[in-house]
Amino acid sequence: MVGTFSGKKSLKALSNKVFRFIQQTLIMTFIPHPDTAPLNLTCAVVTVSDTRTPETDRSGQIIQELLTRSGHDIGLYLIIPDEPLQIQAILPEISNQNQIKVLILNGGTGIAPRDTTYDALVPLLRITLPGFGELFRYLSYQEIGSRAMASRAIAGVYQNLLVFSLPGSTNAVKLALEKLILPEILHLVKQMNG
């Protein structure tokens, strides 16, 4: 005898097991569909900090290394102070450089009084990507625990520019680039351009 079912409880238990198996299989095997043609993007990297220099800006260096290793170009690299007006002023400057399609900022996303990047960017983004911040905090939680809730990482679109704003820690920028930005950057730029 192969097996018998005795009533609704057994059938419900079996359907729950089948559902969990399918759910786990989908989660474990999901890979985003590949973009058909590789695209070389020109990116800008901006570190928002009152103290870093090009020599001490390890996070900015890591962002540039990961982008170039993935075949993208760095069209601009800046370090600017954590001043809202200066943060806001760079968006139109970079957006007017038509070859630059992606801006990655790092620093100023926490809740300290000098962390103003999030507050400076939000009113300027015409489209926000809430899923980026949500996924980033979820992945960060797996690494650093409940402190991940203090991150105000955000992504969105300013005019013709895809914008990512990350915490300034080297682990945070590596996590965001390797797990979220690099796997989806081509797809997001193609969607942004229509």
- In tens, the pLDDT along 127-164 reads 999 999 999 999 999 999 999 999 999 999 999 999 99
Domain annotation covers residue 2? no
Phi/psi of residue 19, nearest 5 degrees: -60, -45
Provide the CATH number for the domain around residue 81: 3.40.980.10
10 within a domain of the structure (yes/no): no
In angstroms, the CA 124 to CA 165 distance is: 13
pLDDT digits (tens, 9 = 90+) for 49-87: 999 999 999 999 999 999 999 999 999 999 999 999 999
The count of domains in the chain is 1
* Nearest to 47, CA basis, from 158, 138, 164, 142: 164
The verdict on residue 27 lying in a domain is no
How many whole angstroms separate alpha carbon 63 and alpha carbon 61?
5
Contact between 128 and 163 (Cβ < 8 Å)? no
pLDDT of residue 5: 47
Q: Is 133 exposed, middle or buried (0-12, 13-18, 19+ CB in 10 A)?
A: buried
Could you report the per-residue pLDDT of 155-186, keeping only the tens digit for each?
999 999 999 999 999 999 999 999 999 999 99
Residue 80's H or E segment, with its range, is strand 73-80
74 falls within a domain: yes
- pTM reported for the whole predicted model: 0.82
Residue 55: domain span: 42-193
Secondary structure class of 53 (helix, strand, coil): coil
What integer best gives the mean pLDDT of the chain?
A: 88
- Two structure tokens written together for 111: 């809740």
Asked if residue 12 has pLDDT above 80, the reply is no
Higher pLDDT, 29 or 167: 167
Residue 25 within a domain: no
Integer CA distances (angstroms), 57 to 48, 94, 113, 137, 148, in order: 10, 20, 21, 23, 22
